[in-house]
Amino acid sequence: MNLALPLMTAGHEDVRSRARAFVAEHLLPHIDKWEAARDFPRDLFATTGKAGWFGAKFDSRWGGTGPDLLAEVAWIEELSRCGSGGVAADLGAHSQLASLYVARQGSDEHCERWLRPSIAGEIVGGLGVTEPGAGSDVNGLRTRAVRDGGDWVINGAKTFITNGAWADYVVVAARTNPEAGHAGVTLFVVEAATPGFEQRRMKMVGWQTSHTGDLSFVDVRVPDDNRLTEEGRGFYAIMENFAWERLMMSLGANVACAEALADVVRVVNEHGTGRDWARTIADLAVDIAQARALTEHALRLHVNNEAGAPVDGAELLRATAMSKLVTQRLAVRACNLALDVRGADAIEPGHPVRRWLRDARLGPIGGGTDEIMREIVAGTLAL
């Protein structure tokens, strides 16, 4: 495969146009109201699913709409323009996290049970990995799952789980062998109605419309049929899927950078202060272009890998981690500059630029902190 070929075809740009129209009709007119309420209607999942936006990267036999990963990229970039990090996070986590794990790690029975209705937007999913005190350290998981006959009994807690407060099911990482390190983690699906499973919504500084939640598991009993991976394969599944999640975050951050830069240029031109800000804006524009190029490189590796072309796994992990590391901090910087050039007006509650900065600040933390990204890069360099 020629890496110099353009990624997006005319067909993908048609997907982008339709995604932009969907966002313009179903999201943008309501964002200010939803942000003020710190909430959005749950039936947005059904609306999005009915339009096919949860199925772009999934097999048609489960209701996937296709055609491929790049169609998903177009959707994610347009969703990122909706103006609410919380709405984008909840819709994105449903498709990029919960559904993806079921599709990649689950059996046909699992896909029929959870993936098909997820693609249709009939149920909402979440991913339960992060724990209190463990943060981005997957190897520090303390939630336990103990076999009891044909069942597993889960005890523990998860935190900062996107969609956690209203998910119908959560893909849960639990330690099944405390002595096995990375090989001691297994993935299970826990459904909302299961006794002993509690979901509580968290108040967030950013992503205020998101239904991010704390989860607790007290003697939660699930059948072995709800085990998503082979015993001890959960950590490796998480590492595989984390790379795609981080790439999606990079795409969203690049959109935030572009939107913030456009706003900065517009405002300084209106104020007649362009000459005062010229060097600062120029430096930012250069860094945004470099970040987008790095993200596109990582995306090409993912696309080639999905197509079965030879891809260096270490390079894929390194490029993805680099992209997330660079883009998340850059989005904060770009949004902060947008606030600076507007001055006092932008710090008023409800101002969109204030919201941009608030939402962008979660980027260097979610999906793996900057420190974790640096460790990944260092590890792939054999340091």
Mean model confidence pLDDT for the chain: 94
Of the given ranges (3-7, 38-42, 172-176, 319-323), which has the lowest mean pLDDT? 3-7
What average pLDDT score do residues 163-186 get?
A: 96
95 and 186 housed in the same domain: no
For 63-93, letters b (16+ CB in 10 Å) and e give: bbbeebbbbbbbbbbbbbbbbbbbbbbbbbb
pLDDT at 383: 74
Q: What is the pLDDT of residues 238-263, one digit of tens each?
A: 998 999 999 999 999 999 999 999 99
Specify if 1 maps to a domain. Answer: no
pLDDT of 3 higher than 50: no
Q: Which residue has the higher pLDDT, 68 or 350?
A: 68
| Separation CA 316–CA 231 (nearest Å) | 26
* Domain identity same for 317 and 300: yes
DSSP state of 203: P
What is the distance between the alpha carbons of residues 43 and 199, in angstroms, rounded to a whole number?
19
Residue at a domain's end among 226, 246, 273: 226
Question: 337 lies in a domain?
Answer: yes
**Among 123, 141, 168, residue at a domain's last position:** 123
pLDDT score of 134 = 74
- 95/39 Cα distance (integer angstroms): 19
Per-residue confidence band for 372, with pLDDT thresholds at 50, 70 and 90: very high
In a domain, 3, yes or no: no
Q: Would you say residue 44 lies in a domain?
A: yes
In a domain, 87, yes or no: yes
| 354 vs 50, higher pLDDT | 50
Q: What is the CATH number of the domain that holds 336?
A: 1.20.140.10
Contacts of 191 (CB under 8 A, 6+ apart): 168, 169, 197, 226
Which CATH number does the domain housing residue 132 bear? 2.40.110.10
Average pLDDT (325-343) is 95
What total of structural domains would you count in the chain? 3
Do 118 and 29 fall into the same domain?
yes
Q: How much is the pLDDT for 345?
A: 74
Which residue range(s) make up the domain with 175? 127-226
Count of other CB atoms within 10 angstroms of residue 129: 25
As a whole number of angstroms, the distance between CA 346 and CA 341 comes to 9
Residues 103 and 131 in one domain: no
Domain contains 197: yes
Residues 87 and 19 in one domain: yes
Q: Can you give the pLDDT at residue 136? A: 62
Q: What CATH number is associated with residue 31?
A: 1.10.540.10
Whether the Cβ atoms of residue 70 and residue 7 lie closer than 8 Å to each other: yes
* Same-domain status, 33 and 137: no
**Predicted local distance difference test score (pLDDT) of residue 4:** 47
Q: Where among 205, 226, 247 does a domain terminate? A: 226
pLDDT at 2: 43
- Together in a domain, 172 and 218: yes
Where does the pLDDT of residue 7 fall: very low under 50, low under 70, confident under 90, or very high at 90 and above?
confident
- Cα separation, 126 vs 161, in Å, equals 7
Q: What angle do CA 90, 39, 367 make, to 5 degrees?
A: 30
In this predicted model, what pLDDT tens digit does every residue of 94-139 receive, in sequence order?
Answer: 999 999 999 999 999 999 999 999 999 999 999 999 999 876 667 7
The whole-number pLDDT of residue 204 equals: 87
Residues 176 and 51 in one domain: no
Summarize pLDDT for 8-17 with one digit per residue, the tens: 899 999 999 9
What is the mean pLDDT of the segment spanning 278-297?
97
In this structure, are residues 144 and 156 in contact, taking their beta carbons and an 8 Å threshold? Answer: yes
pLDDT value of position 352 = 87
Do 23 and 87 sit in the same domain of this protein?
A: yes
Instruction: Taking residues 29-40, report their average pLDDT.
Output: 96
Q: Domain check: are 243 and 136 in the same one?
A: no
Residue 4 domain-assigned (yes or no) = no
Classify residue 202: in a domain, yes or no.
yes
Does 367 lie in the same domain as 242? yes
Q: What is the pTM of this model?
A: 0.92
Q: Say whether both 239 and 374 belong to one domain.
A: yes
